[in-house]
């Protein structure tokens, strides 16, 4: 397994299957329909994102550069966590953006029993290496194993 | 709760709040802001200096229940916003054409919490019943911060306008974080609140042969620079060097596209926006990358937009203009343009149901001008609605809707056209008229196309787009 080191945004350990977006995740466009219409798999609704559109995001190790778009992004992510439709973990190749930071921090501070480790600054090589379906292990201290 | 480690310098009062001096809820608010700021290397919490806040969450969307519960916690803790605030536009307006099926979904399913949420907003500190707009900085609305003021705003198009055109200082805050700032009265100092964070990493050279379409230029820049700050050269030849009404309107639409197609929170326009006028090219970081935009580049960007209608040749059934909300001058200019084009084409009324959206206060000011009756006579409807919220559901998503808003294109199935193309389409002769397409319920003075039929028109029923 290949190892990557990032910065811990929200601590935790988890193992999950990778789901990769090479473009920024538009949080509102991706999650809104799933939250609104009771889709427990959180199927991505962002038709402008060919990597994710139509794929299940809940329970996956979501690998992405950053999030983009509407400033509702953070609260949408917070709601996804509150409703149990969040990814298993979020792994950012770049430093986290302000919207994703808000959503993940709010979920960690205000919600009980939500375990969604968030690691950022994993580097461009991480996103070049990781592919859909690969096994991801998130360890303490921001270490990621991909294989 | 884990013990919180932080590096930023907090005042005694801030530390006390963090240590529960004002209760658990406010401690959590402070913890949220401190942890948020720490991620970006914030050095301290600085006081908010604007008179009003602006929030993004204006909709009582059933799916956002956890947000309303969190706001209830703030109210229960006796912690409303320390500032009055405006908020994004309402998601519903009976003036806007909709089918009975859409009405039912909007009212009883999607936005079933709208009334309750509006009550909650009033309790938290909403400025007034009219304070629902994404363009709170319009003179008619009055939430217009001054140069250098520190804000806790959200709404990407408003944040980028406040930073760039007004010279205020605000990060691209998320919903909830926006409110938490004004509950505490402080925001973490990082990014666009710092001199360093306002410097440009991109030089944009505009080399087009005509004035570029604001929404297209903004889209191209947003997609290229993402969250970075661009310094735009060459635009002053089209906009001039005065921030007059025309330039501000252009920059409103340009900025919204940079913020939604990318994640731009601040741009500088050479010789025009306040910091560019004051500091010039000193705002450009050494090693900044260059992006040249000419006619061919804009054409490439336009042609690469995905068209996600099933039937790409479908006749449009609705046109939305005003995302972000239109200015008073825009409403007047479009009245002239629509009238003129209808006359040229020998058509009495628009041939695609068309909605122009603007802030309630702007619409009230517009209603006092002679333009209002003239626009009404063309068949164009005015509304305070948020087109984005209207479009975000499976029924609306299947409608062939056209717009010149690149923000609406990005978040919904609406198809983008330039302003000129939109004008051609909505005033085109020989097209099935709105009345013909939409043989719906006719109620009172409401135009025939105000209500889409139920069941939906054949094309929509079959998903024929």
- Answer yes or no: are the C-beta atoms of B166 and B387 closer than 8 Å: no
CA distances from B218 to B214, B267, B397, B407 (A): 6, 10, 24, 10
Chain B CB contacts of A119 below 8 Å: none
Are residues B411 and A70, on separate chains, in Cβ contact within 8 Å? yes
Cα of B174 to nearest chain A Cα, Å: 5
Residues of A contacting chain B (CB within 8 angstroms): 9, 11, 24, 26, 28-29, 32-33, 35-37, 47-48, 66, 68-76, 78-79, 82-83, 96-99, 101-103, 105-106, 108-111
- A26/B410 Cβ within 8 A: yes
How far apart CA B400 and CA B392 sit, in angstroms, is: 13
If phi > 0 it is left, if psi is from -120 to 50 it is alpha, else beta; for residue B265 that is alpha
Q: Find chain B residues with C-beta within 8 A of A47's C-beta.
A: 306, 308, 413
Q: What is the pTM of this model?
A: 0.91
Mean pLDDT of B285-305: 97
Q: What are phi and psi of B176, to 5 degrees?
A: 80, -50
> Which residue among A9, A78, A106 places its CB closest to the CB of B39?
A9
Neighbours of B14 (CB within 10 A): 19
Q: What is the C-alpha separation between B217 and B245, in angstroms, rounded?
A: 19
Q: In Å, how far is A21's CA from the nearest CA of chain B?
A: 15
Close Cβ partners of B40 (under 8 Å, ≥ 6 residues apart): A98, A101, B188, B190, B191
Best residue in A25, A43, A71, A73 to probe B by mutation, most B CBs within 10 Å?
A71
Task: Give first-to-last CA distance, chain B, whole Å.
Answer: 52
Q: Is there a contact between B394 and A35 if contact means CB atoms under 8 Å apart?
A: no
Mean pLDDT of chain B: 90
CB pair distance less than 8 Å for A105 and B262? no
B326, B348 contact by CB (below 8 A) = no
User: What confidence score (pLDDT) does residue B2 get?
Assistant: 59
Helix H, strand E, coil C: the string for B316-376 is CCEEEEEEEEECHHHHHHHHHHHHHHHHHHCCCCCCCCEEEEECHHHHHHHHCCCHHHHHH
Output the six-digit token pair for B389: 């919220």
Q: Say yes or no for a CB contact (<8 Å) between B176 and A78.
A: yes
Give the number of A-B residue pairs with CB atoms closer than 8 Å: 123
DSSP string, B289-310: EEEEE-HHHHHHHHHTS----S
Nearest-CB residue to A74 (from B40, B110, B174): B174
The percent of residues above 90 in pLDDT, for chain A, comes to 84
- pLDDT exceeds 70 at position B445: no
| pLDDT score, position B415 | 96
Partner residue facing B70 (CB), from A68, A76, A110:
A110
* Domains of chain B: residue spans and CATH: 3-193 (3.30.499), 198-296 (no CATH), 318-461 (3.30.499)
Question: For position B432, what pLDDT does the model report?
Answer: 53
Give residue-wise pLDDT tens across range B385-397: 999 989 877 778 8
CB contact under 8 A, B392 and A109: no
Mean pLDDT of A43-48: 87
Kindly determine whether residue B176 and residue A74, on different chains, have CB atoms separated by under 8 Å: yes
Percent of chain B at pLDDT > 70 equals: 92
% of chain B exceeding 90 in pLDDT: 78
Selected for mutation to probe chain A from B7, B61, B174, B184 (highest A CB count within 10 Å) is: B174
Q: Give how far B89 is from chain A: nearest CA, Å.
A: 13
Query: Judging by beta carbons within 10 Å of its beta carbon (0-12, 13-18, 19+), is residue A23 exposed, middle or buried?
Result: middle
Cis bond before residue B324 (omega within 30° of 0): yes
Give the minimum alpha-carbon distance from A58 to chain B in angstroms, rounded to a whole number: 16
> Which residue in chain B is spatially nearest to A104 when comparing CA positions?
B36
Taking residues A24-42, report their average pLDDT.
89
- B229 phi/psi in degrees, rounded to 5: -95, 120
pLDDT at A4: 98
Closest listed residue to residue B132, CA positions, set B229, B59, B217, B215: B59
How far apart CA A31 and CA A34 sit, in angstroms, is: 5
- ipTM of the shown complex: 0.95
Contact A72 B175 (CB under 8 A): yes
Work out the minimum CA distance from B368 to partner chain A, whole angstroms: 33
Q: Are B195 and B40 in contact (CB under 8 A)?
A: no
Residues of chain A neighbouring B411 (CB-CB closer than 8 A): 26, 28-29, 69-70
Query: What pLDDT score was predicted for residue A17?
Result: 98
The whole-number average pLDDT for the span B272-298 is 98
Taking the C-alpha atoms of residue A53 and residue A118, their distance in angstroms, rounded to an integer, is: 22
State the DSSP code for B125.
T
Cis check: omega of the bond before B33, within 30 degrees of 0: no
Is the pLDDT at B433 greater than 60? The verdict is: no
Q: What does the pLDDT read at residue B449?
A: 40
E-assigned strands of A36-114?
A: 61-64, 67-68, 89-92
Q: Do A70 and B56 touch (CB under 8 A)?
A: yes
Contact (CB<8Å) B110/A36:
yes
Q: In chain A, which residues have their Cβ closer than 8 Å to the Cβ of B191? A: 98
Question: Nearest C-alpha of chain B: how many angstroms from A17?
Answer: 26
Distance CA A112, CA B88 (A): 30
> For residue A92, what pLDDT is reported?
98
Chain A's closest residue to B309, CA to CA, is A47
Q: Distance from B276 to chain A by nearest Cα, in Å?
A: 25
Q: Do B39 and A105 touch (CB under 8 A)?
A: yes
pLDDT at residue B459, as a whole number: 28
Mean pLDDT, rounded, for B43-50:
97
On chain B, the residues whose CB falls within 8 A of the CB of A110 are: 28, 32, 70
Secondary structure (DSSP) of A23-46: SPEEHHHHHHHHHHTT-TT-B---
Chain segment B161-216, per-residue pLDDT in tens: 999 999 999 999 999 999 999 999 999 999 999 999 999 999 999 999 999 999 99
Using DSSP, state whether A97 is helix, strand or coil.
Answer: coil
- Chain A positions touching B173 (Cβ under 8 A) are 71, 98, 102
- Judged by CB atoms closer than 8 Å, whether chains meet at B410 and A97 is answered as no
């Amino acid at each position: 397994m290949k190892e990557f080191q990032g910065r811990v945004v929200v601590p935790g350990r988890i193992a999950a299957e990778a789901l990769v977006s090479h473009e920024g995740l538009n949080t509102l466009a991706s999650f809104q329909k799933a939250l609104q219409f009771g889709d427990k798999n959180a199927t991505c609704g962002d038709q402008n994102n060919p990597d994710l559109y139509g794929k299940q995001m809940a329970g996956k190790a979501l690998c992405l550069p950053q999030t983009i778009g509407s400033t509702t992004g953070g609260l949408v992510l917070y709601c996804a966590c509150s409703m149990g439709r969040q990814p298993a973990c979020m792994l950012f190749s770049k430093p986290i953006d302000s919207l994703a930071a808000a959503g993940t921090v709010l979920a960690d501070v205000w919600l009980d029993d939500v375990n969604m480790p968030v690691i950022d600054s994993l580097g461009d090589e991480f996103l070049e290496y990781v592919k859909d379906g690969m096994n991801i292990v998130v360890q303490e201290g921001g270490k990621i194993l991909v294989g | 709760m884990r013990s919180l480690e932080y590096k930023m310098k907090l005042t005694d009062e801030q530390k006390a709040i963090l240590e529960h001096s004002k209760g658990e809820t406010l401690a959590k608010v402070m913890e949220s802001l401190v942890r948020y700021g720490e991620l970006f290397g914030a050095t301290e919490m600085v006081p908010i200096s604007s008179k009003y806040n602006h929030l993004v969450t204006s909709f009582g969307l059933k799916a956002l229940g956890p947000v309303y519960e969190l706001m209830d916690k703030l109210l229960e803790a006796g912690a409303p916003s320390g500032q009055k605030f405006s908020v994004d536009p309402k998601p519903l307006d009976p003036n806007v054409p909709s089918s009975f099926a859409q009405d039912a979904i909007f009212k009883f399913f999607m936005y079933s919490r709208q009334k309750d949420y509006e009550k909650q907003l009033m309790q938290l500190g909403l400025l007034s019943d009219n304070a629902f707009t994404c363009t709170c900085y319009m003179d008619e609305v009055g939430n217009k911060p001054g140069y250098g003021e520190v804000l806790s705003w959200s709404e990407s198009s408003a944040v980028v306008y406040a930073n760039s055109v007004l010279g205020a200082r605000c990060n691209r805050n998320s919903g909830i974080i926006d409110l938490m700032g004004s509950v505490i009265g402080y925001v973490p100092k990082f990014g666009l609140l710092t001199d360093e964070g306002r410097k440009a990493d991109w030089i944009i050279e505009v080399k087009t042969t005509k004035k570029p379409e604001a929404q297209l230029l903004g889209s191209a820049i947003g997609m290229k620079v993402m969250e970075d700050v661009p310094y735009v050269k060459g635009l002053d030849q089209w906009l001039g060097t005065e921030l007059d009404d025309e330039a501000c309107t252009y920059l409103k639409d340009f900025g919204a596209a940079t913020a939604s197609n990318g994640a731009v929170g601040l741009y500088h326009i050479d010789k025009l926006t306040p910091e560019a006028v004051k500091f010039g090219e000193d705002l450009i970081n050494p090693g900044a990358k260059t992006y040249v935009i000419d006619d061919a580049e804009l054409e490439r960007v336009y042609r690469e937009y995905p068209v996600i209608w099933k039937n790409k040749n479908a006749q449009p059934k609705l046109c939305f203009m005003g995302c972000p909300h239109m200015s008073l001058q825009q409403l007047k200019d479009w009245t002239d343009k629509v009238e003129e084009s209808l006359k040229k084409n020998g058509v009495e009324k628009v041939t695609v149901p068309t909605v122009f959206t603007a802030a309630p206060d702007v619409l009230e000011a517009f209603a006092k001008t002679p333009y209002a009756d003239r626009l009404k006579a063309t068949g164009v409807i005015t509304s305070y609605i948020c087109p984005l919220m209207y479009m975000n559901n499976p029924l609306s998503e299947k409608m062939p809707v056209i717009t010149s808003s690149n923000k609406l294109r990005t978040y919904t199935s609406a198809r983008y056209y330039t302003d000129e193309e939109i004008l051609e389409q909505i005033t085109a002769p020989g097209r099935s008229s709105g009345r013909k397409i939409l043989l719906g319920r006719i109620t009172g003075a409401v135009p025939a196309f105000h209500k889409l039929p139920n069941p939906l028109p054949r094309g929509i029923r079959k998903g024929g787009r």
